[in-house]
Amino acid sequence: MDVVSNIVEKSLRDAEKSITVHKHLDLQYDLGTLLAVDTNSLDLKSLRDNRNEYLLNLSRDNVQLLLNKIWELPTQQIDETLVVKLPPAKFVLPRARPVPKPKPLTKWEQFAKLKGIKKTKKAKLSWDEQLNKWVPLYGYKRAAAERERDWVLEVPATADPMEDQFLRKKTGRVEKVAKNELQRLRNIAKARNIKIPRVGVTHPDVSSSKDLQTSITVARSATASLGKFQDKLPKEKEARGVNELVPGSNRKRKLPAVSNEQERDHNLQIIDSVLSKRPKINIEKAMARQIHSKPVEQSEENSRSKPNTHGKRKNLKQKGKKPASNNNKVQKKGKKGGGRKRR
């Protein structure tokens, strides 16, 4: 009996031991994700001596603690099984994949961001005054409504009278769509960093003076000496951003070394050429003098004929005041005298 009771006691103790685990620091639990974090330090000695056994025991204990926590939760019985409802998870799991990169902005989006332009939502339906009904923003009903409304089109004053305005409207729309598609592709190419070939000089109506300058600069370099001896206009500017098209433009040559005296003489030559180009008679200066001498002359004249002008002005004033009175010379004189007296 003694033996039996001993064995029972021991097994009971074992069972007790297997359920309760003692830790210095409590574990941190997140039951929603079935997670327990053990912050206690490892026993380094036993870890070194028998690693596997130690780790096995440690994890068994921790799992035991986690299960103990789960058993504390309210249980339900569904279809003869015990079920625990886990609380919502607190722990934020790091994502397995890298965060997706933000979509590269299109050229318009970049511009809008820079200027602070915000997209405003348009109403899906708008009231049409002419047709007296609600017209959708797009779709077949919109097209039908437009067809109904634009049964006649005005010919603009600047347009060719024989031009078909309906056809023009149609082609304009097609062109708009094509342009949008081109811009879309351009945006994609820019986002993926693909080089698109230059368009070149397309059409005189479309191309700008910049395009012309580019083509001139590139064409000039198409000689055996890479355009070194080609003539230039006096104030002509080189096109920029064409280095890849102009051979030898990236090479920078250092000027040959000369003695300082030589350099000074050369500089003096340049100065002479600069100074000699200044016109001896400055036309603008002469013009300004001419223009400003006129008011001076006039003012001199005015001062000479001062009494006359003075009298005239007086007369005018009188006229303004009394337009009804027919003034003759005698009256004038009388008035003039009066004016002086007043002073």
Partner 1 sequence: MKRLSEERTKVLFQKLSQYIGSNVKLLIERPDGLYCFREQKDRVYYVAEKVLKFGESIPPEQLVSVGTCFGKFTKTNKFRLHITALNYLAPYAQNKIWVKPSMEQQFLYGHNVTKAGLGRISEATEKFQGVLVYSMSDLPLGFGVAARTTLECKHADPLAVVCFHQADIGEYIRSESDLL
Binding site for partner 1 (CB under 8 A): 237, 254-255, 258, 260-261, 263-264, 267-268, 270-271, 273-275, 278, 282, 284-285, 288-289, 292, 295
For residue 121, with 0-12 CB atoms within 10 Å meaning exposed, 13-18 middle and 19 or more buried, which class applies? exposed
| Lookup: tokens for 190 | 């820019």
> 84 or 286: whose CB is closer to partner 1?
286
Q: Are 198 and 226 within 8 A, CB to CB?
A: no
Phi then psi dihedrals of residue 126, to 5 deg? -135, 150
76 vs 267 by CB, closer to partner 1: 267
Which residue has 């279809």 as its token pair? 79
CA 125 to chain centre: 31
Please state, in angstroms and rounded to a whole number, the distance separating the CA atoms of residues 188 and 224.
Answer: 39
Closest CB 317 distance from partner 1, rounded Å: 27
- Least distance (Å) between residue 138 CB and partner 1: 46
| Alpha carbon distance 13, 5 (integer Å) | 12
Least Cβ distance, residue 205 to partner 1 (angstroms)? 28
Q: Which amino acid is at 207?
A: S
CB of 291 to partner 1, least distance (A): 8
In the bound state with partner 1, the residue whose beta carbon lies nearer, of 63 and 270, is 270
Minimum distance from CB of 55 to partner 1 (Å)?
A: 59
Q: At its nearest, how many Å lie between partner 1 and the CB of residue 288? A: 5
Pick between residue 180 and residue 282 the one whose CB is nearest to partner 1. Answer: 282
Query: Residue 40 carries which side chain, given as an amino acid letter?
Result: N
**Spatial CA neighbour of 33 closest among 92, 114, 107, 83:** 92
Closer Cβ to partner 1, 110 or 269, answer by number: 269
CA–CA separation, 219 and 205 (whole Å): 21
In the complex, least distance from residue 284 CB atom to partner 1, rounded to whole angstroms: 6
CB of 299 to partner 1, least distance (A): 11
Nearer Cβ to partner 1, position 157 or 274?
274
**φ, ψ at 16 (rounded to 5°):** -60, -45
Q: Which is nearer to partner 1, 27 or 226 (CB)?
A: 226
Q: Is 137 helix (H, G, I), strand (E, B) or coil?
A: coil
Q: Which is nearer to partner 1, 289 or 319 (CB)?
A: 289
- Cα distance between the two ends of the chain: 151
β-strand 81-84 against 133-136: which pairing, if any?
unpaired
Can you list the alpha helix ranges (DSSP code H) found in the chain?
A: 2-19, 44-49, 51-72, 107-115, 140-149, 165-191, 209-220, 260-276, 283-304, 306-321, 329-342
Residue 176 CA to residue 141 CA, distance in Å, equals: 21
Min dist CB 285 to partner 1, Å, is 5
Q: How many residues does this entry show for the chain?
A: 343
Q: Of 289 and 333, which has the nearer Cβ to partner 1? A: 289
Block residue for tokens 């003539």: 231
